[in-house]
């Protein structure tokens, strides 16, 4: 398992199926991504974040540790129809402001031709407080490092596909919103 230089609590585990491997955690981070599998690390650090207005921004990357694990991170393989299935849960209880949000994180991988070069991450939010949370935004931050020996990575967006990406040569890495439908 990849050991981060950042001060982030364990545990973490690795989705490794098909053409891609991705280290996931039970505190919102995505770390160390190889594509194609057994190649260079293409992801410096990434993570899931939510927020309304300052100071309610919950994230765990770089020096922030707002998400607090509720249990371990678990990967099951095989888990038909998936090559691998993972789940973890964490709460916003480490934030400067706490609203009682719990995130259930699910991961899905595939090994069939044509669908073996991505990991689907699903985030389900639950408000455990009796107070409504208005104007909540959610997103994924990804600090790609596709060509570690060169800072000339290029990026772009595709609004029709709800996708953001970065590339160097013929290696493309990115994320797309699958639900709600485009």
Which H, E and C letters describe 156-176, residue by residue? Answer: EEEHHHCEEEEEECCEEEEEE
pLDDT tens across the length of the chain (182 residues): 334 444 444 478 999 988 899 999 999 999 899 988 888 889 988 999 999 999 999 998 777 789 999 988 999 998 899 999 999 999 999 999 999 999 999 999 998 888 888 999 999 999 999 999 999 999 999 989 888 776 678 899 999 888 999 998 888 899 998 887 65
- The vertex-113 CA angle with 18 and 146, nearest 5°, equals 50
Element (H, E) at 64: none
Give residues with Cβ within 8 angstroms of 8, minimum separation 6. Answer: 25, 27, 29, 60, 65
Under 8 Å between Cβ of 101 and 50? yes
> What distance lies between CA 10 and its chain's CA centroid?
15
């Amino acid at each position: 398992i990849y050991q981060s230089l950042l001060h982030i609590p364990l545990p973490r585990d690795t989705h490794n199926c098909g053409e891609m491997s991705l280290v996931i955690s039970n505190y919102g981070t995505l770390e160390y991504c190889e594509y194609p599998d057994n190649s260079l690390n293409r992801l410096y650090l990434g993570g899931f974040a939510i927020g309304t207005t300052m100071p309610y921004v919950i994230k765990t990357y770089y020096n922030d540790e707002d998400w607090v694990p509720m249990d371990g991170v678990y990967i099951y393989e095989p888990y038909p129809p998936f090559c691998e299935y993972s789940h973890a849960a964490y709460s916003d209880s480490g934030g400067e402001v706490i609203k009682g949000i719990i995130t259930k994180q699910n991961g899905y991988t595939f090994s069939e031709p044509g669908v073996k070069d991505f990991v689907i991450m699903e985030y389900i939010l639950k408000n455990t407080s009796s107070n409504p949370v208005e104007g909540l935004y959610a997103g994924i931050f990804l600090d790609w490092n596709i060509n570690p020996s060169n800072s000339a990575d290029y990026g772009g967006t595709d609004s029709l596909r709800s996708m953001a990406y970065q590339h160097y040569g013929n290696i493309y890495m990115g994320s797309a919103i699958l639900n709600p439908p485009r």
